[in-house]
Structure 1
Amino acid sequence: MQVYERSLTERTFHALLFEILAIGISAPLAAWITGQSILSMGVLTAVIATMAVLWNMTYNWLFDKLQARYGFDRTLWIRVAHACGFELGLIFAAIPFVAWWLDTTLWHALVLDIGLVLFYLPYAFFFNLGYDKLRQRLV
């Protein structure tokens, strides 16, 4: 079993790298799909990314503690559950901001956020898988 002990510096690096790459991909895509300006969607994704950085650090710290306590391996299904749990937590935090920023209903914000999740869920899975593999080789 691989146990993940990460410093605050590494957790910060991991979260920032994740979000910078995600904003660079998702903001233009969201602007294209919604018809909103790239600036508006850029601000929206940057604010959500800030929320996500804080959530990412907290969520992954808790996940590492859970793994240390119960001794499970990071199998494919554990990684799927990890990505889903992260995204669900972020949805609950982001929907009120999305509704306010786009001056829309909570329902419309949820639908838009589900669209973002359809991007972020596989992105989170593959990013973390790749990060862990690279980390194993480098650390």
Structure 2
Amino acid sequence: MKILDKEYVVDAGADFVMCQGVFDLQTFKDFYKRCRQHQIDVPIIPAVYAINSYSVLKNLMNFCKVVPPNYLQTMERYENDEEAITDYSVKYVSDLITALLKDKEITIPGVHISCFNNLAMVQKVLDKLDFVDLKICAK
């Protein structure tokens, strides 16, 4: 992930940074730490993608180059099975959200779940999360 330029982000008045395309905890942590080293001290909100089809992933990869090989390989294996892709994506995203929110090296105010106009995917991810364990109040 490319580091942001404080002069153009925070000094220009940004209240937060929305980081798109987070597929991996360590990659986000590295980005987060580099931002902090450059005095970018506003909240950084990672966005995760809840994907329910291989074609959506392929389109996403046209502009997002940070898809981990293991994720891509699994999605390719399930290419023609939308139910398996949905199940895998929901588990992957909910596990990633849990890891992001529980990590002791970073502090984030939340996570943006990008669902490509499929709100049912967001509900499936939310249903998989343990709000008590994450210390999140769900209303």
Scaled by the length of structure 1, the TM-score of the pair is: 0.32
**Which structure dedicates a bigger proportion of its chain to strand?**
2
| TM-score, reference length from structure 2 | 0.32
Between Structure 1 and Structure 2, the one with more helix by share is 1
